[in-house]
Structure 1
Amino acid sequence: MTAGWRLVCVLGGLLLLLAGCGSGEDTWARIEASGVLRVGVDPTFPPFALAEGADVRGIDVDLARALADEMGLEAQFTYFGYDGLYDALTTGQVDALISALVVVPDRTADVAYTGSYYDAGQFLIAPAGSDLTGMADLDGRALAVELGALGHVEALEWQRRLPGLSVITYGSVDEALAAVAAGEAAAALVDSVSGRLYLRDHPTPRLALLAEPVTSEPYAIAVRIGDRTLHRELSAALAALEANGELERIVARWLD
């Protein structure tokens, strides 16, 4: 190898090293100085984010603005398809992702997640006043599920433990919940977003979502692994919104 090529290789290695160091930089000073929190959102997932003309509305948009306000910042949004969100974060196009993201353990080498701000897991919905407290109470009863959905898969697992559990499949979440309302099943097992939207749009006969999830699917905010101060500030702001009730008010505005 010539001296010239050795120099090129050394310089290339230094550039790669510097790029790696940059990805681990704590950018809070820049964010605080600018007064702007750059947020990446996928605007195709209602009710968390949905484009309406030039505007985007939803739970994630309201949450991002509330968090930014809590930190003394202004939220600035950039929109990506779901597949482009993490690339936008790791390449520095945005500071945080607030976009109904489930924690992905394989990404934690590059990404840090806050605590959960919403659990989109599977919940039981039963008639108001039912004596059901959980899946174990369904032995000898019928459970409505959407055919092929995660609730169906989970119900089949429970059916192995509860020989008396009857699992009835329907073509949609709405059909499964209508069956509960009609008395064809003791409860339905559905994801919390679809379930709450149904309850919002069908107030009678009154059904209720049980408090404890059967399976958990927490949504969290993602930042670059090196942005420790931003992670800490976002976590503190999220805790404050939860403590003062603003987080639940934001969620209820769209789901209840």
Structure 2
Amino acid sequence: MWTKRRTSLRLLAGLALAGLASFARAGDVPVQQPGVLRIAVYNDFAPYSAKGQGIDVDLGRALAEKLGLKPDFVWFSADDDMGDDLRNMVWKGHYLGTRPADVMMHVPVDTRLAQANKQVTIFAPYYLETLAVVRDPQRVPPVTGSAAVALEVFTREKIGVEVGSLADSFLLASLSGRIRDQVVHYRSVAKAVGGLRAGEVAAVMAPKAELEAALGSAPSPYAMGPVKMPEMRINGWALGLAVKADNPQLADTLGQAMAQLEKDGTVKQIFARHGVTHQTTGD
């Protein structure tokens, strides 16, 4: 009896080490095209996906490889809201004829978003995005405390934001509009950081990953820190995957693959390769 039990334990251990090997054969994964994982990624969204590369591209490729599939990337531009993106790229397809992907990257893992889009399953958070400020420490102190205290410096100094972003909306509405004229708009976070380097602004508020990537790895005279103000109701948002709600097997398979990529350090390495410090909800 003990011999049989010991043999069974060895078999279970072997299966655990094998991970996805038991179901990652191309024919076992419920995708639209046999042997291919169709992955939706945003256009012009560095460091996540731009010009054929980025964090989401590398992560999508790693997921496909883990499942024994060939990655096929579908590049798309953001629509008016996330619900439109999910409709166009996950469960229905674009009216211009682009068929849906098997999985979409960079989807906020948010209960309200999921409830409003029941045609999709949102899962497997792989990064916790947070809002941060990079600043010239000679001109701007740490942005902490109440908005009245933290943002008072921007009644005198200019701060850069990406146009139409969360930071843009927050700053324009802060201090009863007193700093509206001090908010400088740029087409991207990278351009805003360029404005900081050129002395056009004294600080930039944006998602931390985009700031890190824009600053690069070279030594910098600037300081970066989180935005900590009680008036900022959204302090962070998890990013994950989305598939059609009627394909739970694919969601389960991709979820297990993502968990293994996080466990073996692949996810962290991918973020580091693009100059971003990986952080999750558990950090």
Answer yes or no: same fold by TM over 0.5: yes
Q: Give 1:141's aligned amino acid.
A: V
Cα drift, residue 144 of structure 1: 1.3
Give the C-alpha shift of residue 152 in structure 1.
2.4
Q: CA RMSD in A?
A: 4.2
Deviations 1:39-74 (A, max 9, x none): 2324633433345xxxx332222101222334x422
Q: 206, 227, 249: which one pairs with 2:222?
A: 206
1:15-37: CA deviations, max 9, x gaps?
Answer: xxxxxxxxxxxxx9741799835
Sort the Cα spacing of 1:62 and 1:133 in 2 relative to 1 into closer, same or farther, 3 A.
same
Distance 1:122 1:248 in 2: 20
In structure 2, how many angstroms separate the alpha carbons of the residues matched to 1:245 and 1:133? 32
SS of the aligned residue for 2:70 comes to strand
Equivalent residue for 2:182, pick from 165, 168, 172: 168
Q: Distance in 1 between matches of 2:241 and 2:205?
A: 26
Give the alignment partner of residue 252 of structure 1, picking from 267, 272, 280: 272
Q: Which residues in structure 2 correspond to 1:23-172 (within 5 Å)? A: 30-31=28-29, 36-42=35-41, 44-47=43-46, 48-51=48-51, 56-70=52-66, 72-82=67-77, 86-87=87-88, 89-90=90-91, 94-98=101-105, 100-102=106-108, 104-105=113-114, 108-119=117-128, 122-126=131-135, 132=142, 134=144, 136=146, 138-142=150-154, 144-146=159-161, 148-150=163-165, 151-160=167-176, 168-172=182-186
CA contact (8 A) 1:41 1:79 kept: yes
Q: Residue 202 of structure 1: CA displacement?
A: 6.5
CA deviation after TM superposition for structure 1 residue 112, in Å: 0.3
Query: Which digits, 9 at most, give the CA deviation of each residue in 1:102-155, with x for residues without a partner?
Result: 464466321101133245553222457997363536154236133744212212
Select between 77-86 and 111-120 the one with higher mean Cα deviation. 77-86
Number of matched residues?
220
Change (3 A) 1:126 1:210: farther
Q: Secondary structure at the match of 1:242?
A: helix
CA distance in 1, matches of 2:28, 2:267: 27
Other-structure match for 1:11: none
Query: 31-40 or 246-255, which moves further after superposition?
Result: 31-40
Q: Structure 2 unaligned runs (5+)?
A: 1-25, 80-84, 93-98, 277-283
What are the superposed Cα offsets for residues 172-223 of structure 1, whole Å, 9 maximum, x if unpaired?
A: 24446754896964x4312334422321176421332438796445432111
Larger radius of gyration: 1
| Unaligned segments of structure 1, at least 5 residues | 1-27
Cα distance in 2 for residues equivalent to 1:128 and 1:73: 49
2:253 alignment counterpart:
233
Structure 1 counterpart SS, 2:57: helix
Tell me the equivalent position of 1:5: none
Scaled by the length of structure 2, the TM-score of the pair is 0.58
The structure-2 alpha-carbon separation of the partners of 1:95 and 1:159, relative to structure 1 and needing over 3 Å to count, comes to same
CA pair 171-133 structure 1, distance change in 2 beyond 3 A: closer
Q: Report the 3-state secondary structure (helix = DSSP H, G, I; strand = E; otherwise coil) of the residue aligned with 2:182.
A: strand
Question: Which residue identity lines up with residue 156 of structure 1 in the other structure?
Answer: L
- Which one has a larger percent strand, Structure 1 or Structure 2? 1
Measured at CA, do residues 250 and 211 of structure 1 come closer, stay the same or move farther in structure 2, by a change above 3 Å? Answer: farther
- Scaled by the length of structure 1, the TM-score of the pair is 0.63
